[in-house]
Amino acid sequence: MTIQRRSNPKAPDANGIEKKIKRGNALRQASAWRGSRVPLLVLLAGLVVCAAAAWLVLASRDAEITETLAGKGELVAPEPRVFSVPCSEDYDNHQRYPGCTPLKCGRAVTDAVVTREEAQMLRRLAERGLSLAGSEGGASILDLHSGALSMGKQFVNIYRYFGEQIGEVFTQEDFQLYSDVRARIQAVVAETFGLDPALMFLTKPTFFSRINSTVAQTQHDEYWHPHIDKVTYGSFDYTSLLYLSDYGSDFGGGRFIFMDASGNRTVEPRTGRVSFFSSGSENLHRVEQVTWGTRFAITVSFTCDPAHAITDPALP
């Protein structure tokens, strides 16, 4: 007897099962894409933001310095390298002193006034003095005229605080070298700007500075802000800096930057190099933050007003 089997219309055939499986896989893949699309888009957005930020950083670095007025590897001698700029109106708000008040403004650099050996001797003088104390932040000051010395977050008078011990730190020869160097700097500033050196006077503050990458603890440590010396100090008519260490080998960062409307221009410190300029707003400037090592320099400032004159320092 032959038994006939009837087909079950509710049972799916093989082709139908395969189609359902494929459709299910497709739905699962679509769901997986929808689930992963949000974090992927966030990742892509993050990459775009990072790329844009990197571009802005690079662009800002490119725009930071438009011209190097004197590189560390150059020897600017025998004549100063002079860059003239128009005088600002600042001087109209102050009493004028014929033969001294700036009629010709600008900035200049020379490596022919102070020898490298003399600068190294002055650096050792600064190191001895600053070894007695120092700031908790990145900038420490030693002023041989007033005796001001950074100590923690304040200043002390080095001559009073250390008393007779000072004779073991400084010598008469140190102070004589300091005075000789000051006189030479005054002479080159006067000659460059067409002044009568007898009508220029040393003024305060005139000081050694030691700057490193230590985090700032006080406003005094934030040396990198743009400023105008005539506004900040009042008595300044001419500012000079004698560098006692080398950019790129003794320290990183720490370049002196003139901030002009047409771009920023820098002087790279070199041991024995003197940079000087008229102190008005024609020479808005700042110092780059030091990123490593230690930068030593002396700021020597001059006034045309005899009421603000100071004398060379001397041992007590």
Q: Is 6 a catalytic residue?
A: no
pLDDT of the chain along its 316 residues, tens only? 443 444 444 444 545 545 444 455 444 444 444 444 444 444 444 443 444 443 333 334 445 778 999 999 999 999 999 999 999 988 888 899 999 999 999 999 999 999 999 999 999 999 999 999 999 999 999 999 999 999 999 999 999 999 989 999 999 999 999 999 999 999 999 999 999 999 999 999 999 999 999 999 988 889 999 999 999 998 999 999 999 999 999 999 999 999 999 999 999 999 999 999 999 999 999 999 999 999 999 999 999 999 999 999 999 8
Question: What pTM value is reported for the model?
Answer: 0.80
pLDDT value of residue 316? 87
CA separation for the pair 108, 85 (Å, rounded): 11
Task: Find out whether 195 and 303 touch, Cβ atoms under 8 Å.
Answer: no
pLDDT value of residue 93? 87
pLDDT value of residue 64? 73
Query: What angle do the packed helices 172-193 and 116-130 form, to 10 degrees?
Result: 130
| DSSP one-letter code for 33 | H
| 263-267/67-70 β-pairing | parallel
Distances (CA, A) of 304 to 100, 108, 205, 211: 6, 19, 15, 29
CA dihedral 253, 258, 263, 265 (to 10 degrees): -60
User: Measured at the alpha carbon of residue 258, what is the angle toward residues 255 and 259, in degrees to the nearest 5?
Assistant: 120
The separation between the first and the last C-alpha atoms of the chain, rounded to the nearest angstrom, is 137
pLDDT value of residue 92? 87
User: Measured at the alpha carbon of residue 262, what is the angle toward residues 261 and 267, in degrees to the nearest 5?
Assistant: 95
Catalytic residue among 107, 255, 273, 295: 295
